[in-house]
């Protein structure tokens, strides 16, 4: 959920120096605008949202309007607040002696209302079909052109696996720019779609019987113009750094899901045999593996080899998700964590005994399980600091509690008359 305020250009000039006051509780509001009952922050205290002028973009879908991303800093001296994921990511990147290139691979649904007012997919075309390209073309082309004017280098778009689902691919960037771009990408897609009378929904699993929408995360590490992940002399081109980075991701993956799949709905996407990943494993070009080594394209092997994390969606904070992924992977590099042998197929088709022998565990099946894993993985406490870590766990645990206490239509339909 992207929050902010609207002001005049004149006010922005002043805010660049002073910042704009926000409640200190703002970073830990739920998407339903709730605070957990045990929240550390409430009515007392403020932060400053300090605009980063380098992030300014025009918003072409609304007239005479631009947008800038803010960092949450202390109000009195603009020092680090410890409560801003973007600031923590910037500090983490500054401590690395290498270049991080990253990208989010976004899927989303174009949704309209049927005659009864029920949200339904915009079209019923098949995956990658030219029919879908024709039906989606007007809105998709408008989105692509809008992204281009905002500085994105869009490479392609196509109808995805779900009816009315679309994927738009744009070029990678450095890690901070990638996280910032994810904010603007979502805003642009939703804003342009709205002008066409549609909703662009990044909800991970909006329809029961259709594919979920991910925001797969792609990462590679570079130094002096060389991809540290790639080694042409190793199987699949995966060098030691790539393997160790993968080992770190797998080690921390259950807890990592609390950042990359951060809603109760996220886990309805992460099911077996759905190309979304459901097991803690890795494999080259394996779309059922949680961590996929994306092997290089002919003629550009060293440039294109990267690591993809599949249990990720666009419903969370991109700065926080990317920070957690990078830190987990670098833990593997720093400690030379062996990821084990790759899985060369769908782990769903293995027996329980075969998976146990290979050490292939199930990913968390609920947000509650992911939060429990995060509580046990103190690596992220050291990364984020005690306060951020503890407050994040509180808000996610609160969201899970709200969900499991909700009496659903399914329960009423099945149990009301039976009992």
Q: What is the pLDDT along the chain (419 residues), one digit of tens a residue?
A: 889 889 888 888 888 889 999 999 988 988 888 899 999 998 899 999 999 999 999 999 999 999 999 999 999 999 999 999 999 999 999 999 999 999 999 999 999 999 999 999 999 988 888 988 888 999 999 999 999 999 999 999 998 999 999 999 999 999 999 999 999 999 999 999 999 999 999 999 999 999 999 999 999 999 999 999 999 999 999 999 999 999 999 999 999 999 999 999 999 999 998 889 999 999 999 999 999 999 988 988 889 999 999 999 999 999 999 999 999 999 999 999 999 999 999 999 999 999 999 999 999 999 999 999 999 999 999 999 999 999 999 999 999 999 999 999 999 999 999 99
For residues 49, 171, 275, 345, the Cα torsion angle rounded to the nearest 10 degrees is -130
Question: Are 204 and 63 part of one and the same domain?
Answer: no
Q: Which of 118, 176, 175, 164 is nearest to 140 (CA)?
A: 164
Question: Are 68 and 100 part of one and the same domain?
Answer: no
Question: Are 103 and 80 part of one and the same domain?
Answer: no
The residue segments making up the domain with residue 170 are 92-405
Question: Are 65 and 108 part of one and the same domain?
Answer: no
Three-state secondary-structure class, residue 386:
helix
Q: How many independent structural domains does the chain possess?
A: 2
Q: Which of 41, 65, 84 is a domain's end point?
A: 84
Question: Are 17 and 110 part of one and the same domain?
Answer: no
- Assess contact for 279 and 345: CB atoms under 8 A: no
Question: Are 142 and 285 part of one and the same domain?
Answer: yes
Alpha-carbon distance values, 224 to 221, 227, 287, 303, 359 (Å)? 11, 9, 31, 13, 36
Question: Are 116 and 157 part of one and the same domain?
Answer: yes
Question: Are 164 and 185 part of one and the same domain?
Answer: yes
Is residue 412 situated within a structural domain? no
Question: Are 196 and 299 part of one and the same domain?
Answer: yes
Question: Are 154 and 230 part of one and the same domain?
Answer: yes
CATH number of domain containing 31? 3.10.20.70
Question: Are 228 and 331 part of one and the same domain?
Answer: yes
CA–CA separation, 151 and 67 (whole Å) = 13
């Amino acid at each position: 959920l992207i929050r902010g305020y609207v002001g005049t250009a004149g006010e922005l000039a002043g805010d660049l120096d002073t910042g704009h006051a926000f409640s200190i509780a703002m970073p830990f509001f739920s998407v339903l605008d709730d605070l957990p009952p045990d929240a550390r922050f409430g009515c007392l205290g403020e932060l400053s949202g300090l605009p980063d002028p380098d992030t300014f973009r025009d918003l072409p879908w609304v007239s005479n309007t631009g947008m800038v991303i803010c960092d949450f800093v202390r109000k009195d001296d603009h020092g680090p607040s410890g409560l801003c994921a973007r600031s923590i990511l910037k500090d983490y990147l500054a401590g690395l002696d290498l270049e991080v290139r990253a990208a989010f691979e976004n899927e989303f649904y174009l949704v309209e209302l049927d005659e009864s007012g029920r949200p339904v997919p915009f079209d019923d075309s098949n995956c990658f079909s030219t029919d879908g390209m024709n039906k989606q073309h007007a809105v998709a082309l408008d989105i692509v052109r809008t992204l281009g004017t905002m500085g994105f280098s869009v490479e392609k778009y196509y109808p995805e696996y779900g009816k009315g689902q679309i994927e738009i691919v744009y070029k990678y960037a450095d890690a901070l720019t990638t996280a910032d771009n994810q904010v603007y990408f979502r805003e642009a897609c939703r804003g342009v779609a709205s002008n066409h009378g549609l909703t662009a929904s990044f909800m991970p699993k909006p329809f029961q019987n259709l594919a979920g929408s991910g925001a797969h995360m792609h990462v590679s590490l570079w130094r002096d113009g060389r991809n540290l992940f790639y080694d042409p002399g190793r199987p699949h081109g995966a060098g030691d750094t790539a393997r160790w980075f993968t080992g770190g991701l797998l080690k921390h993956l259950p807890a990592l899901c609390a950042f990359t799949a951060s809603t109760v709905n996220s886990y309805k996407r992460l099911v077996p045999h759905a190309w979304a990943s459901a097991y803690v494993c890795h494999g080259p070009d394996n779309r059922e593996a949680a961590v996929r080594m994306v092997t290089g394209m002919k003629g550009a092997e060293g440039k294109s080899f990267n690591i993809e994390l599949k249990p990720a969606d666009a419903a969370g904070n991109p700065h926080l998700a990317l920070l957690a992924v990078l830190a987990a992977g670098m833990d593997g590099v720093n400690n030379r964590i062996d990821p084990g042998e790759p899985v060369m197929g769908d782990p769903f088709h293995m027996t329980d005994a075969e998976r146990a022998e290979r050490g292939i565990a199930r990913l968390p099946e609920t947000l509650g399980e992911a939060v429990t894993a995060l509580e046990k993985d103190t690596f992220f406490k050291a990364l984020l600091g005690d306060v951020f870590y503890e407050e994040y766990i509180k808000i996610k645990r609160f969201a899970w509690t709200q969900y499991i206490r909700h009496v659903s239509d399914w329960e009423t339909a099945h149990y009301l008359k039976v009992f």
